[in-house]
């Protein structure tokens, strides 16, 4: 199933295996929703009312899905959610709080992957389709979303977290550079330069494989 998702668009996967494809689409929508909701919740907790005023403090997927991003996700297998607007002037400690808001998205995806793994442990043995049809892709999607967003490429979450490790002046220079050349950096990172593999794949694939190994190990301890 994983190879099908990697080698084909989600649309072709849905057409070839409708039930599994729709369940995978639901898993993706849920992963994107909790990711964006986490950004909104932490921003609101840190004193920025902007996400709340834009109706982003909700688990309703419609509030977090970008129309074009969702369409491309289904057709070509690559898309995005609607970014959560924040106003750094409302934050008490803009540099730290912005990094925490950015970290919230990938963090909730990792938590969701672990939670889904625990569900696999308690799902009755006869309900294997629940595991293969929904929980397995839900875990994979959350891991991909988490590690991909931690990359230090603007406008991904990692680009905001990265700035916390530099002085304010150096951080501003890095931020300007990442924003100025974001499209070029993104294209270079996604192109298959290395043995038909992109730099993004080379970085996040080992992290995903390692995470799946330890999650499978967790399941094997109880099943």
pLDDT tens per residue, range 165-184: 999 999 999 999 999 999 99
For residue 10, the model assigns a pLDDT of 62
Greater pLDDT, 78 or 166: 166
For residue 14, the model assigns a pLDDT of 65
pLDDT band at 131 (very low <50, low <70, confident <90, very high): confident
Q: Which domain holds residue 179?
A: 2-220
For residue 177, the model assigns a pLDDT of 95
pLDDT at 130 over 60: yes
Catalytic site residues?
36
pLDDT at 126 over 70: no
8 Å CB contact between 215 and 207: no
What is the tally of structural domains in the chain?
1
8 Å CB contact between 27 and 82: no
- Taking the C-alpha atoms of residue 111 and residue 142, their distance in angstroms, rounded to an integer, is 9
Backbone φ and ψ for 78, nearest 5 degrees, come out as: -140, 125
pLDDT band at 81 (very low <50, low <70, confident <90, very high): confident
For residue 121, the model assigns a pLDDT of 84
For the entire predicted model, the pTM comes to 0.90
Share the mean pLDDT of the chain.
88
Handedness of CA 190, 195, 196, 197 (dihedral sign): negative
pLDDT at 39 over 80: yes
For 47: left if phi > 0, alpha if psi spans -120 to 50, otherwise beta; the answer is: left
Q: Which of 71, 85, 79 is nearest to 36 (CA)?
A: 85
pLDDT tens per residue, range 45-71: 999 999 999 999 999 999 999 888 888
- Burial class, 88, CB count within 10 angstroms (exposed 0-12 / middle 13-18 / buried 19+): middle
């Amino acid at each position: 199933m994983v190879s099908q998702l990697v080698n084909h668009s989600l649309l072709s996967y849905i057409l070839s295996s409708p039930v599994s494809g729709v369940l995978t689409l639901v898993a993706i929508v849920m992963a994107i929703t909790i990711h964006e909701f986490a950004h909104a919740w932490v921003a609101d907790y840190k004193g920025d009312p902007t996400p709340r005023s834009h109706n982003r403090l909700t688990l309703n997927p419609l509030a977090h899905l970008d129309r074009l991003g969702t369409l491309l996700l289904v057709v070509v297998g690559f898309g995005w959610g609607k970014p959560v607007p924040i106003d750094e002037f409302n934050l008490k400690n803009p540099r730290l709080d912005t990094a925490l808001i950015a970290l919230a998205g990938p963090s909730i995806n990792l938590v969701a992957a672990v939670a889904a793994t625990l569900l696999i442990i308690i799902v009755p043995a006869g309900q294997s389709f629940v595991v293969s049809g929904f929980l397995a892709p839900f875990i994979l999607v959350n891991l991909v979303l988490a590690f991909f967003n931690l990359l230090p490429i603007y406008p991904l979450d990692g680009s905001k977290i990265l700035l916390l490790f530099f002085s304010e002046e150096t951080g501003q220079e890095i931020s300007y550079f990442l924003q100025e050349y974001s499209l070029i950096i993104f294209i270079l990172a996604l192109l298959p330069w290395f043995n038909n593999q992109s730099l993004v794949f080379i970085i996040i694939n080992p992290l995903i494989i390692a995470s799946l190994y330890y999650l499978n190990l967790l399941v094997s301890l109880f099943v």
